[in-house]
Structure 1
Amino acid sequence: MEVEYRSFLQSPRVWDKITDPAKVGYILKEYVHNNGIFLKENPLKQELQILKNSEDGKIHLRIDPNQVNKENEITVYKTLSKHMEIGFRVERVDDENGIAICIPEYVKIAKEGRITTRIEGLAGKVVAHRFHIQKKEQDSTKILGTSGQILLTDLHRNLLSEYQNSRLIFPNSKDLTPEQDLIKRTGKAIFVSDAFTLEQPPLNTLTNFEVMDLRTELEEEMILEDRIKFFRMGKIKSFVMVPLFYRDAMGAKLLALGYSESKDGALDPEILKKYKELEVVFNARIEDSNTLDLDVRQNVVNASEGGILLEITESQLVESFLHKPFFTADLTFKMQAPLRFAFKIRHISQLGEIYLVGAEIVGSNDAKVNMTLLKKNLSFVKSL
């Protein structure tokens, strides 16, 4: 019975490609021996057997003839310190004996090396559990609407309490000032230390935000004098206006404008850090409210010090991984304490009803200790 295989995600690799026949032949002779060679994108992870290396450079491979594509090509891979792919043109196939006579055409070697080699056969010996994942869907209309505005207003009240003349402006208003409209169009902040000349503080003090040259912008709009007159009439000596964004996988969406003014003197550029903190805290709160903990046990198929391959059978995990390729989970080796890591998903494929998920370790709650224990546990499992 044929098992359906599909690939959903594959992080791109950067390759060195070798096509010179002499160099390809040397690599095959020195590094590609009769073990650890697998057919690319084969759901059953079929290991191939090299039967013979002919003097004319042709390779005799034992292979299921059905695995040769319509273009009479096959690609095999081998992972040493770096991942390697070899492309063959199939000259002919002996259907009766299952032998393909192949001519090597290229070798591709991944530029990024593996931290350590994979240790196979871990199913039943190592499990991943206590997953902290992203929910499948998030209703951005609520975040950008009343619910998000209430949360942002509450955070603003606490984080900018020392700046009395501060408020939030929500950009869905039709009556925006020229400055507010500029921010909405450009996504840049405004910081004016002297509203009568539109002078800015030194650029090296304006961190984390891209700040526009308001004077130049208003000159181009031919409303410079009118706006300076407006600030004078309002007795505004200094002001700052900052775009605040909600950020998700689809990009940044303008949520509000933070506005602060002073009638006594120049505002402290430190206020920009407060607005940056406001944006960061808001996004963190939204992300926290959109995550869940799922304590299911999933087999680890193989692992190295750099990452793991998971056998996923829980549909909720699959939905989350396809939505956002990050998660945290515990790895538990048999008879050992769990180790918690953060992962970034590198590839996802489906084999029948099972999903194979390759994930890179990108962090830990106690990185130094946990990585030492992971290395020790992997060495112990390898020795069994």
Structure 2
Amino acid sequence: MEVHTLKILKDSKRDAQVITDPQKLEYILKEYVGNTPLGIRNTEPVVHATPKGMEKSDEYGYVLLLEFPADYPVPNQLTLFKTLKRQMEFDCELIEEGTNGVKMRVLEVRIDTNPRKQGRLINPDDSIVSSNFYISKNKIDMNPMWYSVSNRVIFHEEEKRLSARIAGLKIREMNPIDNRWESKILKKAKQGFIVTDLKEAKILWEQDILGTSKSIELPKIADEAVEAMRKMALDEGLKSAIYYPILYTNLQQQTFPIGYLYLESKEKELTKQDMQTLKEAAEEVLKRIKDANTIFLKERQAIVNIGLGGALLKITDPEFQQYILNRNEMVFDVIFKMQQPLRFYAEIKHIRQKDTGELYVGVEFKGLVYSEHSGMTSFERLKEYIEYMVQKGAPYEAPIAS
């Protein structure tokens, strides 16, 4: 069997108890190691070492006598693991190789703080695949520092393009520390509005004008906003204005305005048709922002194993490999054979590279992107599919009680 070593490219710090105390080490090694095989981290397929005994040395402390496969070149240092209800890892250092086995000094033991609640369905025949990946090129969130130069450039270019057909159109960037009166309203309402009469501060909401959803609780218009509108009428001679947000939804499914389009008029009261025009223009700008900030990859990639908590993906597509290395999250579909896709938002926990180029990417499911029309969520359907495949005899690695 050909064994490959995996190079660690990304490894999120796990919440684990680190044990170096000699008495505790002795207890753990005697209680949990036994003679059952231990996996060697970062090998593919996973190589196992079989414990043959343990001894205590004044020079080296606790030493394990291990038997490795004959064709496996034992490195000077390695990490062994055992998957119980909590993952256990043993950092070891080579002391000597002999005819009776390999002696390795145990440097420390790590035990995951959080128990592993779900098992994993092993997928040897590629009957489960991943596809339709959405990865952000640039992080856009609600942090005051989110704003990227590329978005600012896009706003400038789109304002120039759109104003050629919509006279007077302006686009303004927006962020969480923006204190303009219209920005405060747009952040809360998340919909456009017309000020039909600035002098009277008379507002009509998009949901009433265009018949959009009324699920959002509309904000109360602050006195300072009323004063600002009246000042615009008196100082600038403006009669009416429209403000329409550019609403961005990130991978975590948070929706917030990143900018807005606006029209101001001195001659006439702006109308429903003007609102519709700005709505369509905002959709054009949003598409440009999404195209600039999000990568979509349709290619199917293998799933090595999967559970309710997450999955291990095998990534072979060169373009995908290029983008995923510096990303922390993504959205993708899990596809069981002959079934509708299940879409998840996932956090990338670790990435390892095989010496032949493939990436093994461990992800943790953090949430749903949508619920299925059947009324079941993606998590509920995933649980149902896994249970069905286990009943049909698919390989399943269940948590072992410690």
TM-score clears 0.5: yes
Distance 2:284 2:310 in 1: 30
Match in the other structure for 1:115:
117
Deviations 1:126-151 (A, max 9, x none): 33144233487999647623676349
Distance 1:258 1:229 in 2: 20
Given that residues 49 and 62 in structure 1 are in contact (C-alpha distance below 8 angstroms), is that contact kept between their aligned partners in structure 2?
yes
Alpha-carbon shift at residue 100 of structure 1 (Å): 1.6
- Cα 1:231–1:108, aligned 2, differ >3 Å: closer, same or farther? farther
Match in the other structure for 2:179:
189
| Partner AA of 1:116 in structure 2 | Q
Give the superposed CA RMSD. Answer: 5.1
What is the TM-score with the length of structure 1 in the denominator? 0.60
Task: Tell whether 2:143 aligns with 1:132.
Answer: no
1:44-123 aligned at under 5 Å gives the runs: 44-54=45-55, 57-63=62-68, 66-69=73-76, 73-90=77-94, 92-96=95-99, 98-102=101-105, 104-120=106-122, 122-123=123-124
Given that residues 188 and 242 in structure 1 are in contact (C-alpha distance below 8 angstroms), is that contact kept between their aligned partners in structure 2?
no
Given that residues 159 and 169 in structure 2 are in contact (C-alpha distance below 8 angstroms), is that contact kept between their aligned partners in structure 1?
no
What is the TM-score with the length of structure 2 in the denominator? 0.58
- Cα 1:67–1:304, aligned 2, differ >3 Å: closer, same or farther? same
2:298 counterpart (294, 298, 320): 294
Distance 1:259 1:22 in 2: 70
| Partner AA of 2:383 in structure 1 | T
Distance 2:286 2:113 in 1: 35
Deviations 1:279-321 (A, max 9, x none): 999657733674435243x332222222222222222332343
Match in the other structure for 2:10:
9
% of aligned pairs identical? 19
1:372 counterpart (383, 393, 399): 383
2:158 counterpart (149, 153, 170): 149
Given that residues 152 and 282 in structure 1 are in contact (C-alpha distance below 8 angstroms), is that contact kept between their aligned partners in structure 2?
no
Given that residues 66 and 102 in structure 2 are in contact (C-alpha distance below 8 angstroms), is that contact kept between their aligned partners in structure 1?
yes
Distance 2:161 2:310 in 1: 37
In the comparison of the two structures, how many residue pairs are matched? Answer: 313
| Partner AA of 1:358 in structure 2 | G
Structure 1, 319-328 or 353-362: larger mean CA deviation: 319-328
Alpha-carbon shift at residue 322 of structure 1 (Å): 3.0
Deviations 1:91-111 (A, max 9, x none): x21255551242x33221222
- Cα 1:262–1:108, aligned 2, differ >3 Å: closer, same or farther? farther
Distance 2:157 2:248 in 1: 9
Given that residues 133 and 326 in structure 1 are in contact (C-alpha distance below 8 angstroms), is that contact kept between their aligned partners in structure 2?
yes
Distance 2:55 2:299 in 1: 54
1:1-384 aligned at under 5 Å gives the runs: 3=4, 5-35=6-36, 37-54=38-55, 57-63=62-68, 66-69=73-76, 73-90=77-94, 92-96=95-99, 98-102=101-105, 104-120=106-122, 122-134=123-135, 141=150, 144-145=153-154, 149-150=158-159, 168=170, 170=172, 187-191=177-181, 233=235, 286-287=289-290, 290-296=294-300, 298-322=301-325, 324=327, 325-333=329-337, 336-344=338-346, 345-351=348-354, 352-361=356-365, 362-363=367-368, 365-366=371-372, 367=377, 369-380=380-391
Please give the secondary structure, in 2, of the residue aligned with 1:38: strand
Distance 2:12 2:340 in 1: 28
Please give the secondary structure, in 1, of the residue aligned with 2:120: coil
| Partner AA of 2:153 in structure 1 | L
